[in-house]
Amino acid sequence: MLRDVQEVTTETSVLGTGIAFPMLVAPMAYQRHAHPDGECAMAQGAAAAGTIMCMSTMATSSPAEVGASAPDAPRWYQLYVFRDDGVTRSLVDQAVDAGFRAIVLTVDAPYFGRRERDIRTGWMIPDDPPVPALAAALGGMRQTTVVEHFKLVTAGLSWKDVERISSDSGLPVLVKGVQTAEDALLAVEHGAAGVVVSNHGGRQLDGVAASIEMLPEVVDAVGAETEVLVDGGIRRGTDVAIALALGAHAVLVGRPVLWGLAVDGAAGAQRVLELLRDELALALGLLGCTSPDELTRAHVGRAL
């Protein structure tokens, strides 16, 4: 209290790239099922709000299309690694050619989680629209369903692949799906530029801790040198503030932005990001902070 908070900024940077607020769009597959303009609109919404979109391997637009729809905006590419090295190489090449600046390597999905709600509703991802990057990597426009997609993903990924993917692509790699201090340290040891503490929105393994619970031990393990991002359940500006106070450099936001996209395309995604930005600015000001990096663990306490 009684700290001059007339000027509050939410601006920050991730891996050296300036962004308007410490939130990025989480990788989410198949966005043209949410809105006909899909990933291209998401890229435009993120760019208009001033942040980075992380595009999924399972995107229903190609890296080139997404790059062209927001050419000046920084963008990251989420990678699933395939059993066939040639497929993975082709995907990475497409991302590099389209100007993606970092690889977010998802490591918590060697198998597709058993998602009982999906099973109950019987909802299946239709084959159309296809996943063009994967179709190109597989050679020709062969279309595959989500279950088939995941059958092509390797369960044989290991830590040495982190270094290989970084040197093959020439891009920094963030490891997404880290849940413990031990794995965070292994990620750093194997050349990761950052880690994303995540349990895939709770949709992979039953019984794992919430990512916000795992965050402090990861931050303490890797130290200030490694950027730690977190996702899962960020729904309010105060959620972002809590994550930053616990040591996250930035957060990824998934479903809220997807719902924004579904409602109103690029403008809807932008609006959700801006609502979260404004809520964060308010939380910072009310916590006596003028910028995200003034948040500390002293600003949070465990609810009894």
Q: Which residues form the interface with ligand FMN (CB under 6 A)?
A: 26-29, 56, 58, 78, 106, 176, 198, 200-201, 231-234, 253-255
Nearer to ligand FMN, 64 or 125 (CB): 125
Residue among 35, 200, 249, 299 flagged as catalytic = 200
**Element counts in the chain: helices (H) and strands (E):** 11, 10
Q: Which residues contact 43 (CB under 8 A, 6 or more apart)?
A: 53, 55, 66, 67, 69, 70, 73, 75
Closest approach of ligand FMN to the CB of residue 26, in Å: 4
Nearer to ligand FMN, 129 or 285 (CB): 129
Secondary structure class of 104 (helix, strand, coil): strand
Report the amino acid identity of residue 156: G
Query: Is residue 200 among the annotated active site residues?
Result: yes
Nearer to ligand FMN, 8 or 173 (CB): 173
- Strands of 136-291, DSSP E: 173-178, 194-197, 227-231, 250-253
Nearer to ligand FMN, 8 or 102 (CB): 102
Closest approach of ligand FMN to the CB of residue 151, in Å: 15
Q: Which residues contact 93 (CB under 8 A, 6 or more apart)?
A: none
Closest approach of ligand FMN to the CB of residue 172, in Å: 16
Helix (H) or strand (E) holding 91: helix 85-97
**212 contacts 238 by C-beta, under 8 angstroms:** no
Nearer to ligand FMN, 74 or 233 (CB): 233
Q: Measured between alpha carbons, how far is residue 273 from residues 23, 27, 78, 214, 282 in Å?
A: 8, 15, 20, 24, 14
Give the residue numbers annotated as catalytic, written as ranges: 200
